[in-house]
Amino acid sequence: MQPKFLLGMALSMALQTVWSQTKPLSDTSLLAPTSLKEVVVSSQKFSEKYQRIAQQVDQIRSKNLLQLQPNVADVLTQSGKLFVQKSQQGGGSPVIRGFEASRILLMVDGIRLNNAIYRAGHLQNVITIDNMVLDRLEILYGPSSTLYGSDALGGVVSMFTTDPKLSQSGKTEWHGAATLRYTSAIDEQRGNVQLHFSGKKWASFSSVTVGSFGDAIQGKNRRDAYPQFGRKDFLVQRVGNTDVVVPNPNPDQQVSSAFKQTDITQKILFQPNAKIKHLLNMQLSTSSDIPRYDRLTEKTSGLPAFAEWYYGPQERRLFAYQFSAKEQLGFFQDIKA
């Protein structure tokens, strides 16, 4: 009985083996695509898989959210990831768990925008980053002093702009894009032109954004307890050598909140092989005077407290060279400088 049982088991296994060998292979192109795991750079300064990070990190990668807002401050506001303080249209100070300004660190492409000696009040540096060229945003919550120093006591807002990409076909490729935007509520008129060059070892990304933002128009719906909140029923005009107060024909229009801004980005990539990368990063952002609208609404003894109050003109320049190497032999396997 036992030999027959063993013989039956052997035949059964043989038949299964033959059947598995003759089963036709499926077309892998018809399979559902597999999503790669998110990679976070900010938390360790080297690329790391999202699920391996102990610290809380949020990413913003939606192109609609990143590029369809007037500036980076509005991107952060609309994301719902953190609170942004705004005193005027041309501003926006991120707040992470109650910390802001010199207690949090703002970074662009791995380079800090502020440090611990910056003012402790509201800081508007994020609007100098062109959101039309943003690739992603990463927000680190909680102390990050071990990696970034005491500037990151409350957390880090790390912004990454678009990088040049090498040609996948091995041929030289040129791509261009142009965008025009208009927003009625803030009279935003903005244009962006981008040029991509992709070669076998060289690549380039160029972008120019010119924007004009008019006087913002606020909503008319207010709480019954504050029916005049935000309304400005007066204007201050200069007549001769005297400041004169005149009525504002539209109290819901925030007169003296307009400003202009120009952003230029140029990146050049040289990658001789898959493990070595050289990146030249140049950015320029300039703005006109940016009025402090909340100050211009204040009154003292029934008269305007200020005729003028503005920041600027503001200018941000960035020139950086970045070298990275991975899978190296010796004491250091990955290098970034």
Question: Per residue in 209-229, pLDDT tens?
Answer: 999 999 999 888 888 888 888
pLDDT of amino acid 136: 93
Across the range 193-198, mean pLDDT stands at: 97
Q: Please give the full DSSP string across 310-331, using - where no structure is assigned.
A: EE---EEEEEEEEEEE-S-SSS
pLDDT of amino acid 332: 78
Task: Tell me the residue type at 124.
Answer: Q
Q: How confident is the model at residue 127 (pLDDT cuts 50, 70, 90)?
A: very high
Three-state SS at 230: coil
Q: For 41-52, how does the pLDDT look when each residue is reduced to its tens digit (9 = 90+)?
A: 555 555 666 555
| Element of type H or E holding 14 | helix 2-22
* Residue 316, strand partner residues: 285
Q: What percent of the chain has pLDDT over 90?
A: 43
- Size of the chain, expressed as the number of residues it contains: 337
Q: Which domains does the chain have, with CATH numbers?
A: 38-219+231-336 (2.170.130.10)
pTM over 0.85: no
